[in-house]
Structure 1
């Protein structure tokens, strides 16, 4: 249930994905009076968010919420909340309410219950979830063999949020303590959009499709779950 949309360049990908996200959010507002938009950090979606921020939607009715977060304050390096604030929550989209994950707790584990309570209040079903993928095969904060990963990947879990401690690598950097949406939460989205770019990530994506070990390459949990369609966007 994976649909691939491959583009000749990133400009065309950006425009297409921004158009599709805007249409899905508009439809959600039309059907339910509001919409929920789950967003990831990273360099790949940045131009999409900037393009989307200029779309004349009733943004005050769009609930923007993070897919995952490093356990850092908004003014610290690596904050996904800061990234979303500086890219998506600009222009027309500055009116959108945004739900972050980092709270006053010292660690993600200590803050998990408060984060869960906040996310349980989001309107569902979620309308759109934008995911990225790392060169290690992670998506969201599902890092290979991370502490907490198996629980996070339980598709029958009633939890929306899970604390994760990743094994430090070049991909994770120093911030190994994370909060992430669970696989079960992501699968509550009407549309799941996985965004990758460049030849190296295309190789990783193809490798993920060939195997079944979700702990080795957790993006497989999204690509191979079989219950919700996933659209993969790629450009060189």
Structure 2
């Protein structure tokens, strides 16, 4: 159930992914009067969000929510909340309601219950979930061998959100404490879009397809779940 959409350059990828997201969100609005759009941080999706922000969609009826977050305040470096406000919630999309994950609690574990309640109020099924992938095979904040990973990867879990403590690496940086959608939460999306660019990540993606060890490469939990369609977007 993995479809590959590979493009010769990033500009064509950006336009195609923005178009596909817009169509899926409009479909949700047509069917239910509102839609839910789950978004990841990172430099790779940034131009897609900037392009989408200019699309004249009924943004006031599109609920934008984070896929994951570093446990930092919005004013701190690395905040996905601030990133999405800056690159997506602009132009036409400034009208969209937005749900972040960071709560006032000192730790992600303490904030998990409040985050769970808030996400439980989002319209479901979620219409679109945009995911990225790191060179270590993580997606969302589902990091290899992280504390809390095994429970977060349980597809039968009733939880949408989970506190995660990653093993510090060059990929995680100093912010190892995270909040993330669980696999079960991601699987409540009707359409999962995995965005990767560059030859190195293409190699990691192909490696992920060859084995089933999800704790080593958590992106496998998305690629091999077999319940919801996944579209992989790639450009050099």
**Shared fold by TM > 0.5?**
yes
Distance 1:155 1:97 in 2: 28
Distance 2:230 2:131 in 1: 10
How does 1:26-105 map onto structure 2 within 5 Å? 26-105=26-105
- What residue in structure 1 maps to residue 212 of structure 2? 212
> What TM-score do the two structures reach when normalised by structure 2?
1.00
The superposition leaves residues 21-51 of structure 1 with CA deviations (integer Å, 9 ceiling, x where unpaired) of 0011111111101000000001110000000
> What TM-score do the two structures reach when normalised by structure 1?
1.00
Q: 2:12 matched to 1:12?
A: yes
- What residue in structure 1 maps to residue 191 of structure 2? 191
Q: 2:169 matched to 1:169?
A: yes
Distance 1:90 1:52 in 2: 9
Structure 1: which 4+ aligned runs deviate by more than 3 Å? none
Could you say what secondary structure the match of 2:82 adopts?
Answer: helix
Q: 2:147 matched to 1:147?
A: yes
Distance 1:113 1:96 in 2: 24
The superposition leaves residues 108-129 of structure 1 with CA deviations (integer Å, 9 ceiling, x where unpaired) of 0000000000000000000000
Q: 2:229 matched to 1:224?
A: no
Distance 2:2 2:20 in 1: 16
Distance 1:54 1:151 in 2: 38
Distance 2:190 2:224 in 1: 16
What is the Cα deviation at residue 218 of structure 1? 0.2
Distance 1:23 1:5 in 2: 16
For this pair of structures, how many residues does the alignment match?
236
Unaligned runs of 5+ residues in structure 2 are: none
Q: 2:126 matched to 1:126?
A: yes
Supply the RMSD in Å over aligned alpha carbons: 0.4
What is the Cα deviation at residue 229 of structure 1? 1.0
Distance 1:100 1:39 in 2: 10
